[in-house]
Structure formats: structure tokens, C-alpha cells
Structure 1
Amino acid sequence: MTLDRLKPVLLLGPLVLFLGLAYFVPFLGVMQWSVTLPEPGIGQYGKAISDPLIHSVFLRTFRICLIVTVASVVCAYAITYVWVRGTPLQRLLTELCILIPFWISVLTRAFGWVALLSNRGLLNTWMQSLGIISEPLTMVRNEFGVVLGMTHFLIPFAVFPIASAMRSLDERVFLAARGMGASQMRTFWTIFVPITLPGILGAGLMVFVFALGFFITPAILGGGRSVMIAELIYLRIFQSPDWGLGAAVSVLLMVFVGVLLALLVRFVRPNRMLG
């Protein structure tokens, strides 16, 4: 093997080794729990597949993740458009709005939403003082609060794949469209959006996978009334305790994510999804 071919192996080898030790080896332990606890066999998988409670949690999780993905990608697309094609001042302000959330922990953001949206929070207090509402609105301890908190957290992650796709555009295409009489709106919907579609798919994939594993935000803003898969796994392992069932649910979730990634890689090239 020549030195040029050996360089990528040497550079990627430590990363692959770290990922294997940090993620793959522990996952093998979880898989072992799923077929050995409380007794050897695949009974826990049968229980996970047939349990109505687990069915409802899976359906709720997928519903919330889909809503969060759509909301995050739509908001991120508008923000990215200003970031890439706005004036220098608009780009600077947008970039600050994108980067600052990364400096704030997920726990701080979740409690910030509780302080803002709770029955005695800032928003309800303000609307009641202005006479807009007579009774406080319930905006936390339900799916609305979970979706809002998760969307707020995931929008910055959706921005970067979309920005990469927008920055790779050839401006001569838009000049040609305008020269042929297309309006700005028609140019946007028939040329700009289709060309950036791979970035939209990449952002949607990233947000959806991240949302599947969310724990802190749903636990705080959902208040135990909108339990998602990650919180269910935590409850089964640390509070029941039912390690075998919790491990089986974890494995099923990983299999679902793996199948989703395989399908997307099969039908959409990864380099196009990431712009």
C-alpha cells in the first residue's frame, strides 16, 4: 500500500477506533442485556412488539419527531436564506443568532421555556395583564411545549446542510431565469428550492435522527405526560427496573434508525444530502 493510500487510514483510524470503543462496544452490551435479562431468549422483543404502551410511545415519538423535523427545516430554510443571501448586517446578526444557542446548554434552554410558558410564566402573565386572556394557557406539560422546545434546539443543526447547499448554487442560473422573464417568486419555487432539495433532505435526516433520541427537553417540558422513546428506556432501566425490556426497545430504535439511514443512502447520495 502506497503512502498516499495509507494516509486516509492513518487519519481516520483513531476516529474509527474511538467511535467503536465509545459507542459500538457499549451497544453490544445493550444487545446482550436484551436477550439475557431476566432470562435468555427473545421474549423481551416479543413483549416490546406486542405491548400497547410501547406502541403508543413509539407512535407519539414518531409523530413529534416528524412535526419537529418539518418545523425545524422550514424555520432553518428561512434563516439560512437570510444568512447566505442577505446584506452584510443581516448576515452578521443571523450568524450570531445561529451560533449563540450552541453556547447554552440544553438544560438551561428547557428551563428557560418553562419559565416563559408555564401557567405563571412570563407569557401568560403578560397576556393576562393586557386582558388578552382571562385564564392561563397550558403550554407546558404537553406535546406543544415538547415540540416548541425541541424545534428551538434543533433549528441550528438544520441550518448548516441547507447553507452548504445554498452556497454551492451557480448565480448564472438565476440570471438566466430572470433574463427569460421569470419573476422572483417563480425563480425561487421552480429553481432555487429544487436545487437546494438535497440540503433540505440532509437537514431533515439530521433533525429527525437527533429528535428520536431526545430526553431532557421532553422530560422537562412534557412533565411525564408526553413520554418519548428515550424517556421510556430511562424509566425501564433506572426506575422499573426492567433492563431487558429497556435494552430491547433501544435495539429496536437503533434498527429503525439504521434502516432509515440505509434507505436514504440507497436512494439519495450522501454528498448531495450534505450539500
Structure 2
Amino acid sequence: MIAKPSGKFLLLAPLLLFLGLAYAVPFLGVVRWSFTLPEPGIGQYKAVFSDPLVRSVFLRTLRICLIVTVASLLAAYAIAYVWVRGTRTQRMLAEFCILVPFWISVLTRAFGWLALLSNRGLINTWLQAAGIIGSPLALARNELGVIIGMTHFLIPFAVFPIASAMRSIDERVLLAARGMGASRSRIFWTVFVPLTYGGLIGAALIVFVFALGFFVTPAILGGGRSVMVAELVYLRIFQSPDWGLGAAISVILVLFIAALLALMRRFIKPAHLIG
């Protein structure tokens, strides 16, 4: 007998069809470009690993993504702690700081940071007017500006899984540690923080995956001096043009992200990723 399709599959079929047409089919076209342009073969993939420029961009991207991930986790942990365990006023303020950035587009945020960090921006102007510095600090159009802008954008995404892990902690465990004479700092570092490792790992993977595909923020705050992988793909496709190499870089980036997502699915509980 032929098994009838389940009701859940029938409900998901339109979504799966849409995703296949909207994402899978175009991606297969990109894969075809990577093997056929400018001539058939795997030459473009060899170029990805042999071209010093492409290698340097990949290394820069990984370095920036790691720094942004660490900075985002540190800031998100402090915000999530206040959001979960602070007073009512502190929780409302933390929630306001978490939700407001979602209402502002990434382009607006990038230009806002450029207005703050550029040589004639508000920060350098104020520091020079106060006599603290004699010449403008190089805060934009370099890796520092890219890191600041990306960290600001990604902090809210790291808050939710961390806060979810914090809310799942059994208060009786903390009370037991307190009853055994542990100080507040010792409870925090030896009990509270280890119990939130799942949320930290989940947040780190989410931030790192998002950071790998950033385009607008590095393009604006980097000023062409801190090119990342997504911007390199754009340059190869629309300015060189070298569609084969751009497609090969895209395929490698997608496969790398897919591997990270598979790792996240394998080791992280889904409940820790939901705020």
C-alpha cells in the first residue's frame, strides 16, 4: 500500500515549494556558474585557495567575525543579566534598549556610526574641542569602525538565547549555593555562568553566522579598506566582472555556514535559541 502524506507535510508543502523556488533554484544556478565560468572545471575553486587576495579577505572576515562575536557576547550577557534579574525599572530599560535597534534599518545605523566615528564626526570633534586629542582618531574606514558597527547590530540577537538560558536556571540551585556559604561573586562565576553555557554557545553561533554575511556595514564603515567576503562577492560579480570566482566564493561561504548550523543543531538544544 502507498502511504498517504501526513497532514503536517501537506501544511508545509507550500512553504517548502516556495523556499525551493526562491532559494534552492537560484543557488543551484550559482553553483553552475562556479563550475562553468569562464570555462568548465574547478579552476575557480583552486583560485579561491591559491589567490592571496581572496585568502586575505577570508582571514580578515574570520578575524573580524571572531572579535565581533566575543564583543557581542560580553555586552549581551550584561544586558541579559539586567533584563532577567534586575529591578522592574532596570528590566524595562534593558528591554527598551534591546527592542529599539530592531526598528532602525542596518543602513541607517551604519551611517549613524559613520557620523559619530569619522574624522569630522561627533566623537572626534568633541574630543578635539575638549583638548583631549590634537588630531582626529582613526575610528572609521578601518576594521575598528566595522567591528563597532557590526557589534552594535548583533548584540540584540545574542541577548535572546542568553536570556532564555538564564530564565531556565532553577533558583533553588543558587539558594543552595548561597546557603552553603558561597559569596555572590563565587555563585555567579562557578554556578550561574556554567548553567548558561548552552545559551552562550547558541548566541555565539548565531552572531558568528550573521557576521559572516555582513555587507552594508563593512562597506560603509570600512570604506573599501576592510573588505569582507560578502563585499568581495559583490565586487567580483558587479565590478570585475568575474562571475565564476564570485560564485565559487559564495558556494564556499554557504557551505561553511551550513556546517556551522549543522553543528549548532547537533550540540545546542533548540530551547536555548528561543528568547
Range into which the TM-score falls when normalised by the shorter chain: over 0.9
Is the contact made by 1:162 and 1:200 (CA closer than 8 Å) also made in structure 2?
Answer: yes
For residue 272 of structure 1, report the CA deviation from its aligned partner.
5.7
**1:129-174 Cα shifts (integer Å, max 9, x gaps):** 1100011111001000000000000000111111111111111110
1:257 maps to 257
CA gap 1:145/1:102 in 2 versus in 1, 3 angstroms: same
Q: Which stretch of structure 1 is more off in the superposition, 5-14 or 233-242?
A: 5-14
CA distance in 2 between counterparts of 1:238 and 1:106 reads 22
Are residues 1:271 and 2:270 paired?
Answer: yes
What is the deviation of 1:17? 2.7
Cα distance, 1:257 vs structure 2 = 1.7
- Give the deviation of 1:273 after TM superposition: 4.6
| Paired position in structure 2 for 1:57 | 57
| Contact 2:145–2:222 (Cα < 8 Å) also in 1 | yes
- The number of residue pairs the alignment matches comes to 273
Q: How far 1:39 sits from its partner (Å)?
A: 1.2
1:1-275 equivalences under 5 Å are 6-266=6-266, 268-271=267-270, 273-274=272-273
CA-to-aligned-CA distance 1:69-113 (integer Å, 9 cap, x gap) = 000011001000000111111111110110000000000000000
Q: Which amino acid aligns with 1:226?
A: S
What amino acid does structure 2 have at the position aligned with 1:261?
Answer: L
Stretches of structure 1 lacking an aligned partner (at least 5 in a row): none
State the secondary structure of the residue aligned to 2:15: helix
Task: Output the CA distance in 2 between the equivalents of 1:239 and 1:155.
Answer: 32
Q: Which runs of 4+ in 1 moved over 4 A?
A: none
**Structure-2 change in CA distance of 1:10 and 1:189 (3 Å):** farther
Could you say what secondary structure the match of 1:194 adopts?
Answer: helix
Are the counterparts in 2 of residues 73 and 200 from structure 1 also a CA contact under 8 Å?
Answer: yes
State how far apart, in whole Å, the 1-side matches of 2:57 and 2:83 are. 37
Q: Residues 144 and 15 (structure 1 numbering): CA distance in 2 closer, same or farther, change over 3 Å?
A: same
CA distance in 2, matches of 1:11, 1:89: 43
Contact 1:201/1:273 (8 A) holds in 2: no
* d(CA) in 2 for partners of 1:251, 1:64: 20
Give the TM-score normalised by structure 2: 0.95
Deviation, structure 1 residue 52? 0.5
Identical counterparts, % of pairs: 72
Deviation of residue 253 (structure 1)? 1.1
**Hey, what's the Cα distance between the residues in 1 that align with 2:156 and 2:17?**
29
The letter of the residue matching 1:145 is G
> Which consecutive residues of structure 2, in runs of 5 or more, have no partner in the other structure?
none
- Determine helix, strand or coil for the equivalent of 1:217: helix
- Answer yes or no: is the 8 Å Cα contact 1:82–1:91 preserved in 2: yes
Give, in whole Å, the separation in 1 of the partners of 2:13 and 2:186: 48
Structure 2 CA distance for partners of 1:39 and 1:67, relative to 1, 3 Å: same
Q: Quick one: distance in 1 between partners of 2:124 and 2:190?
A: 42
Distance 2:15 2:161 in 1: 22
